[in-house]
Amino acid sequence: MGTLRVPDMLPSPYQDAERLHKAFEGWGTDEKGVIWILGHRNAEQRMKIRDTYEQLYNKSLITRLKSELSGDFLKAVILWTYDPSERDAKLANKALKSKKQGIRQLQVIVEIACAFSPHHLVAMRQAYCSMFDCSIEEDIVSCVSQPARKILVALVSSYRYDRQLVDTDVANNEAKILHEAIEEKQLDHDKVVRILSTRNVSQLKETFQCYNHNYGNTIEQDIKSCGNSILESILTVVIQCIESPHKHFAKVIRESIEGLGTDESSLTRAIVSRADIDMKKIKEEYQNLYKESMEDAVSGDTSGNYQDFLMTLLGSKL
């Protein structure tokens, strides 16, 4: 369950668009008003507000937000205002076009391919084509070098069966294939790529359990022992996103605020993209893993309107 709070008495998209327009008018912007409205609407409702705003004022809401807000607050509100498929197409494109291509960038693509529904993944591919005039596969091929390229292309091309169905024989057999590949340090073997990119999530969870049961270590431990290249890091994120997206995003949030300075783009991405999916479970995982409340941690590392907006999405501000 998400942490997004939508009011019982929902204003019409027309009323919301009007109020947003008022928040933009006059001296300075009423940021609290923007948070109050957009921070309490789900994806479908935000989409209707965007459409209505454009009809009423002949200007895109996104463009208007860009001229009214600033900094991390602006970035977070913009991501939240995009349709989720457009948001993820944008995040994936930014990751691919970034100068550095470490795991911090590439994990964004793994998340979209492994921690969301197959339907969302396809919608993102469609949005990517519309927004960037080429397929995401083409951009992966032109921006990412081997061996990461191979697994990323396969992952974004997947359309996993989305119900729970497990074949234990297949799980044991494929645990063996994965184990052999890891032992031979052939992490980009066709069979590994095929298993991770075509099997359904419940089947893969069973395979990882068989792996642990049959070979002593978890598959994550064994992959880590292969070294510390980008491929190992990618596969680790694949496994985390499949085994437990909640745990994965709890970790992303933790890493974004740990130490000196904050990685706002990761923090924003995790909260914005999961607030209306499973943020409740992510908060529980966070508490479990770090013995601290996520709200306390996030509010300790952020400030101002940016903080208010994230807290609203986390459900701790009314």
Residue ranges of the binding site for Ca(2+):
24, 26, 28, 68, 257, 261, 301-302
The least distance separating a copy of itself from the CB of residue 95, rounded to whole angstroms, comes to: 18
Could you tell me the smallest distance in angstroms from the CB atom of residue 232 to a copy of itself?
21
CB of 201 to a copy of itself, least distance (A): 12
Task: Please name which of 269, 263, 276 lies closest in space to residue 302, comparing C-alpha atoms.
Answer: 263
Residues near a copy of itself (CB under 8 A) are: 118-119, 122, 125-126, 129, 133-135, 137-138, 141, 150, 153-154, 157-163, 165, 190, 194, 197-200
Give the DSSP per-residue string, 59-120.
S-HHHHHHHH--HHHHHHHHHHHS-HHHHHHHHHHHHHHSS--SHHHHHHHHHHHHSS-HHH
Please answer whether residues 311 and 296 qualify as being in contact, where contact means their C-beta atoms are separated by less than 8 angstroms.
Answer: no
Give the nearer residue to a copy of itself in terms of CB position, either 157 or 244: 157
Query: What is the spatial distance between Cα 174 and Cα 7, in angstroms, rounded to a whole number?
Result: 47
Nearest approach, Cβ of residue 238 and a copy of itself (Å): 16
**Measured from the CB of residue 138, what is the shortest distance to a copy of itself in angstroms?**
5
User: Do 22 and 299 meet the contact criterion of CB atoms below 8 Å apart?
Assistant: no
Q: How far is the CB of 147 from a copy of itself (least distance, A)?
A: 11
- Residue 161 beta carbon to a copy of itself: minimum distance, rounded to whole angstroms: 5
Listed in sequence order, the residues at least 6 apart from 178 whose beta carbon sits closer than 8 Å to its beta carbon are: 192, 195, 207, 211, 219
Binding site: residue ranges? 24, 26, 28, 68, 257, 261, 301-302
CB nearer a copy of itself, residue 196 or residue 314: 196
- Cβ-based neighbours of 282, under 8 Å, separated by 6 or more: 246, 249, 250, 253, 270, 274, 294
The residue whose two tokens read 């598959």 is 219
Residues 131 and 93 sit within 8 Å (Cβ to Cβ): yes
Over the range 115-154, which residues count as b (16 or more CB within 10 Å of their CB) and which as e? bbeeebbebbbebbeeebeebbbebbbebbeebbbbbbbb
Q: Which is nearer to a copy of itself, 199 or 251 (CB)?
A: 199
123/311 with CB nearer a copy of itself? 123
Which residues lie closer than 8 Å to 36 by C-beta, 6 or more apart? Answer: none
